[in-house]
Structure 1
Amino acid sequence: MLTKPDTLSYALAVSAQQPHTFDVSVTIPSHQTDTLTLTLPAWIPGSYMIRDFARNITALAATTADGNIVSSTKTDKQTWQINAGGQAVTVNYSVYAYDLSVRSAFINDEYAFCNGTSVFLKVSGMDDVPCTLTLTKPAHKPAWQIETSMPNLEDRDNTLHFQCEDYDELIDHPIFIGECSRLVFTENGVEFVMLFSGTTDIDIDRVCRDLAPVCRHHMRLFGDPQPVERYVFMTLLSDTGFGGLEHRSSTALLFPRFDLPLNGDPLEKTDAYITFLSLCSHELFHTWHVKRIKPDVMVKPDLLSETYTEQLWIYEGFTSFYDDLTLARVGLITPEKYLDIVAQNNSRLLVNAGRFKQSAAQSSFDAWTRFYKQDASATNQIVSYYTKGGIIALGLDLLIREQSNHKHSLDDVMRVLWTDYGREIKGTPDEVITTICQHHFNIDVSDYLNDVVYHTRDVPLDALLHTMGVTQQLRQKVQFDDKGGRATSDKRINRAFGAVMKNLETGVLIQVVRENTPAAKAGLQVNDKLLAVEDYVVTSPLVQRMLDATSKKTLKLLVLREGRVVTLELPVTEAEYEVCQFTITDTDKFQRWLNTNG
């Protein structure tokens, strides 16, 4: 029989910036069992891939309170057994931290960052035991700050102490220790903290002003009482990285530093900055929709192995619908800009042949392998539950409005999800959306969801967009990297190619080849280096220019493939109408749709 201790005491300190090491310990009071089992999660909720965080534990030793060494045995890749004989024991270990991402742990000369899943061992059988945490910043870095959304007990010198209800809470608060800029603002009684790592001169006042109405929108949509009293936007600045991961009262973000507004920059919003605001909107929305409203199997998932669900299209898809919609609703972007973003998302879906082969439900279920471990065939074999899920949400909103004579919308579905499932974290069954629409609004959406979620049919936007006073048109690209939305020129690309390219010092690198396109028919492969077209060294714009200008039926390609020179023939065909744009045809109707108040 295992008698649980009153508290598990964890401690974390930055051991060294080089070689990027955390010192971690957990102290377990006396207990009535001879052997303790400790494990580290293999994955982190919100990122559905086995990452084997335990591989970064580089040393582990256990001692009793009087300093005697206790034997420890590693039994598999992420499990240790400690033969403590019931005595109080402290387990000390080191964690290598050099993964610059929102999922793991990272230390450099500016800061240290970690998620609990990467650093805190779990004591088996003590899941519900309260945990304390002591965080210590390096003594030689007195200016470094400590930030986490964990409840704070006390501060003392370079050390902070925190309290969590149990292990699940302990690992759901990312930790930042380092140089940063930081600003606090309050909305509807909730304190929001915006943090940027390092010393880049970010216009943090502007960012907070822009995010304040986004926070108000989400809180108003779901209603009082709010699930958090304090929320942290924890942003790691990098050169080119990008990412976001939700937590119960914070988010960890990774973003290119110079894509954000600096002090003194003009006030217009760049596309990159709009992307950052959308990312913040997305992750904050997850505070309700993922962290509390969640699939039934994710209420208490096994973090040692995969947990499968077909519902990710509801969670990431619906959130992808609301992240940009919120920016338009609160006036951070124009209605036209919002529709351009939706058109780009739909264009990304339409050029993806994988949407005919994998359903949104299958994409959700296979997130662990096919979505998170994409290979060269991905664009032709799979569909994104983010992208298609967002378009499914748009179609569902329009269908609900149409069938209810505009009495209801997807906003109402979100509120029911929150009140019926989120507030008490009950977990949703697969058919939850159909059930809510039928029971609460007397609307049958089963045929629609069967077509677009469980089969591979496209969302019938052309038949639904009239509800919001908008039409969709397919058009040819105006330039090689045209992503869709309003055309920026009257010029059109005349000839199809069918591959995504990246410029090299000489020639271009083939990154994606879409099936049934000229590039595929020519035999181009991912990672080919296309050196020349018709014996002329090319860049990606020149490839398109030569295609559009030629009167030939084929063009000769010179390709370097795995050290061999290969000659291919590219068929010359007319460009497809493959990207879409949206046009507002009824301004009043669109404004009524857009301004539905959460």
Structure 2
Amino acid sequence: MSDNTLHFSLNLSQWQAHQFDVQLSIPAHSASSLTLSLPSWIPGSYMVRDFAKNIVSLSAKKTAANTLTPEAFTQSSVSIEKLDKQTWSIQTDGEACIINYTIYANDLSIRSAFINHEYAFINGTSAFLHIEEFENSQHQLEITVDDNIPSNWNGHTSMETRAPCSLDSKIDADANARAWYFGAKNYDEFIDHPIYVGVADTCEFEVDNVNFTLLFSGNNNIDYARIAKDLTPICQHHLSLFGTPYPVKDYLFMTLLADNGFGGLEHKYSTALLYPRFELPLIGDGEEKTDGYVTFLSLCSHEFFHTWHVKRIKPNVMVKPDLSKESYTNQLWIYEGFTSFYDDVTLARVGTIPAQKYLDIVAQNISRLLQNAGRFKQSAAESSFDAWTKFYKQDASATNNIVSYYTKGGIIALGLDLLLREQSGDKVCLDDVMRVLWQQYGKDESGTPDNVIQTLCKAHFDIDVSDYLNSVVYHTDDVELEALVQRIGIALRTRAKVSSEDKGGLSLKAPMKRQLGATLKPAPLGLTVAQVFEGLAAMHAGILLNDNIIAINGHVVSQGKLQRILDTTLESTAEVSLIRDGQLLNVTLPVMEARKDMAFFEINDADVFNHWLGVK
């Protein structure tokens, strides 16, 4: 271990309390005091999460001889001053010292830390203190488990494996403890490798000399060979799109399986995913791809695309972000939006899903926008900037007041691709833009300015897209897809919902005649209002969030009965009985025709459309 290496030892033996212990060994140094902090947010997830709130205890002590050997430590405590919610100053007088702290880890997500009987999952931003004076030093990690942990637990991370360092840092641990050793060249790299220690199934596959590992928590009856087979062409597509040399030689798909839950978070050499275990194909299933499995493949596609687009091509403010506070950018529509376009279109390009299935997925995204009154109030650029408070802290009113930079950004990307093809006579497409972004901004991670897309398109392809981007990105205009998609052999249509569960896409079912304009969920008696959509009947009637609708026109309701009564009512109004805050109320509901806010596509020329997809 070099003189300025920081050594972290992670012990997982307190899993019953959802806690793990960290021991940070700091060598002798020139500063009289050190500044310690824990990030307040994790890159890729734009919300302040205050990870330091999970530090249960923190203490420090010096060594007797400025060496980091077990015998050298004394009980001489170090003065610690807490400066704010996540920052400490320790008075070391330049002497070697050790920091001991305990983390509470009970957040089953891919953004924080979690530990139970089966595994521990840890993001570095949740666990590893940043020392300002050692930021660019080597960081070494030792993970230890003892007899309290089952023998079938193993350690996994995309971090570089290291040999045990000369320091035996297991000062308070069992001498027979099992251990794994990893390391990184600086703090930023150190916290960009999520860690999994526990029971896991793994499967490996190779694409163009890049080694991929699939890791799934627990032992399962999942058909991993099938998943590897289906992911192979998807990974190949992304590798081929950006070209050699590839930024990775090894890549880890790390999936936490749960009964429910969904999420993905990108890292430079791995991704952490959360997914329902029974949505994945089991050994013995047929070859049919369920919607849940298609969504999983799309999620993997999305996160692997981020290997280039977010982790290396990135907004200028994210090149070296301050993890103690928000870093604002207007550009998330480029990064999450473009990636949302590529995650699904890739599945169609490589034949994982048929063309119509892809179009149904796009139609569902358009339908979400059409139902979203917030798209008239917030632009995609504003959605990006306000991600910290509006997108990541949504409530039931969000659909009426904000727009998703993921959803609208993906539609913007589709429109941009079609516009570039139209303006260039099919010589330029969005793929070309992505390659220039990679060459000009990604390889050296220099960071993109806000106007990068319009500037790049003009400079490299002599195509002016500024009017288009000004209207759909910086203002609240819809992307005019109807005209753009005609030239690729498809037609965009709209219809009314066929049921309350309808998400959009091609359907042969009869549409609803009338529309309540609220999302409902079953209650012990009647239905509870989960969302009220602006401009529709429920809002006009004064029906509010969390109201419990119990009857319509004197009939106790279920979801199906309410819709049938609405569809067959001959009057212009209906009487709705509801309970609000313990009070029984009757409101008059205007009976309104169902709005045509469900999008679907029809393929008019399959050859032309397949040519656009790149399918032969």
- Normalising by structure 1, we get a TM-score of 0.97
Q: Deviations over 1:442-462 (max 9, x none)?
A: 100000000000000000101
Determine the C-alpha separation between the residues in 2 that align with 1:364 and 1:227.
27
Mapping of residues 153-302 of structure 1, within 5 Å? 153-154=162-163, 158-302=178-322
Structure 1 residue 557: deviation in Å? 1.3
Determine the C-alpha separation between the residues in 2 that align with 1:412 and 1:62.
54
Structure 1 residue 29: deviation in Å? 0.5
Q: Is 1:152 the counterpart of 2:152 in the alignment?
A: no
Q: 2:21 aligns to what SS in structure 1?
A: strand
Structure 1 residue 5: deviation in Å? 5.2
Structure 1 residue 236: deviation in Å? 0.4
Q: 2:133 aligns to what SS in structure 1?
A: coil
Q: 1:370 aligns to what SS in structure 2?
A: helix
Q: Which amino acid aligns with 1:496?
A: Q
Does the 8 Å contact 2:144/2:177 carry over to 1?
A: no
Q: Is 1:593 the counterpart of 2:601 in the alignment?
A: no
RMSD: 1.4
2:438 aligns with 418
Match of 1:55 among 53, 56, 59: 53
Q: Deviations over 1:156-213 (max 9, x none)?
A: 9721111201000010000001111111111111111101101231111111111111
Mapping of residues 447-596 of structure 1, within 5 Å? 447-489=467-509, 491-595=510-614
Q: Which amino acid aligns with 2:138?
A: P
2:173 aligns with none
Does the 8 Å contact 1:401/1:467 carry over to 2?
A: no
Q: Which amino acid aligns with 1:11?
A: S
Match of 2:138 among 130, 137, 154: 130
Q: Which residues of structure 2 form unaligned runs of 5+?
A: 64-72, 165-175
Determine the C-alpha separation between the residues in 1 that align with 2:521 and 2:260.
16
Q: Deviations over 1:478-534 (max 9, x none)?
A: 222211100142x12000211111122321121111111001101111111112222
Mapping of residues 346-425 of structure 1, within 5 Å? 346-425=366-445
CA, structure 1 residues 5+567, in 2 after alignment: closer, same or farther (shift >3 Å)? farther
Structure 1 residue 233: deviation in Å? 0.6
Q: 1:515 aligns to what SS in structure 2?
A: coil
Q: Which amino acid aligns with 2:158?
A: S
Q: Which amino acid aligns with 1:154?
A: A
Q: Is 1:11 the counterpart of 2:15 in the alignment?
A: no
Deviates more, 1:308-317 or 1:233-242: 233-242
2:364 aligns with 344
Q: 1:18 aligns to what SS in structure 2?
A: helix
Q: 2:203 aligns to what SS in structure 1?
A: strand
Q: 1:125 aligns to what SS in structure 2?
A: helix
Q: Which amino acid aligns with 1:227?
A: P
Q: Which amino acid aligns with 1:76?
A: D
Does the 8 Å contact 1:350/1:578 carry over to 2?
A: yes
Q: 1:36 aligns to what SS in structure 2?
A: strand
Does the 8 Å contact 2:212/2:251 carry over to 1?
A: yes
Determine the C-alpha separation between the residues in 1 that align with 2:373 and 2:352.
34
Determine the C-alpha separation between the residues in 2 that align with 1:563 and 1:304.
44
Q: 1:473 aligns to what SS in structure 2?
A: strand
Q: Which residues of structure 1 form unaligned runs of 5+?
A: none
Determine the C-alpha separation between the residues in 1 that align with 2:557 and 2:470.
46
1:95 aligns with 103
Q: 1:454 aligns to what SS in structure 2?
A: coil
Q: Which amino acid aligns with 1:549?
A: T
Q: Deviations over 1:110-147 (max 9, x none)?
A: 11001000000000132211111111234331101111
Determine the C-alpha separation between the residues in 1 that align with 2:187 and 2:106.
24
Determine the C-alpha separation between the residues in 2 that align with 1:158 and 1:176.
15
Determine the C-alpha separation between the residues in 2 that align with 1:120 and 1:278.
31
Does the 8 Å contact 1:8/1:29 carry over to 2?
A: yes
CA, structure 1 residues 138+390, in 2 after alignment: closer, same or farther (shift >3 Å)? farther
Match of 1:31 among 26, 29, 32: 29
Q: 2:386 aligns to what SS in structure 1?
A: helix
Q: 2:394 aligns to what SS in structure 1?
A: coil
Deviates more, 1:476-485 or 1:298-307: 476-485
Q: Which amino acid aligns with 2:512?
A: I
Determine the C-alpha separation between the residues in 1 that align with 2:144 and 2:559.
51
Q: 2:578 aligns to what SS in structure 1?
A: strand
Deviates more, 1:573-582 or 1:409-418: 573-582
The number of residues matched between the two structures is: 593
Q: Which amino acid aligns with 2:155?
A: I
Does the 8 Å contact 1:5/1:28 carry over to 2?
A: no
Q: Which amino acid aligns with 1:9?
A: H
1:142 aligns with 151
Does the 8 Å contact 1:400/1:410 carry over to 2?
A: yes
Determine the C-alpha separation between the residues in 2 that align with 1:144 and 1:396.
48
Q: Which amino acid aligns with 1:523?
A: G
- Normalising by structure 2, we get a TM-score of 0.95
Match of 1:307 among 322, 327, 331: 327
Does the 8 Å contact 1:310/1:361 carry over to 2?
A: yes
2:81 aligns with 73
Determine the C-alpha separation between the residues in 1 that align with 2:564 and 2:157.
52
Q: Deviations over 1:206-248 (max 9, x none)?
A: 1111111111000000000111111111100111111100011
Deviates more, 1:132-141 or 1:13-22: 132-141
1:121 aligns with 129
Structure 1 residue 6: deviation in Å? 2.3
Structure 1 residue 596: deviation in Å? 7.4
Determine the C-alpha separation between the residues in 2 that align with 1:431 and 1:309.
12
Q: Which amino acid aligns with 1:81?
A: S
CA, structure 1 residues 264+6, in 2 after alignment: closer, same or farther (shift >3 Å)? same
Q: Which amino acid aligns with 2:405?
A: Y
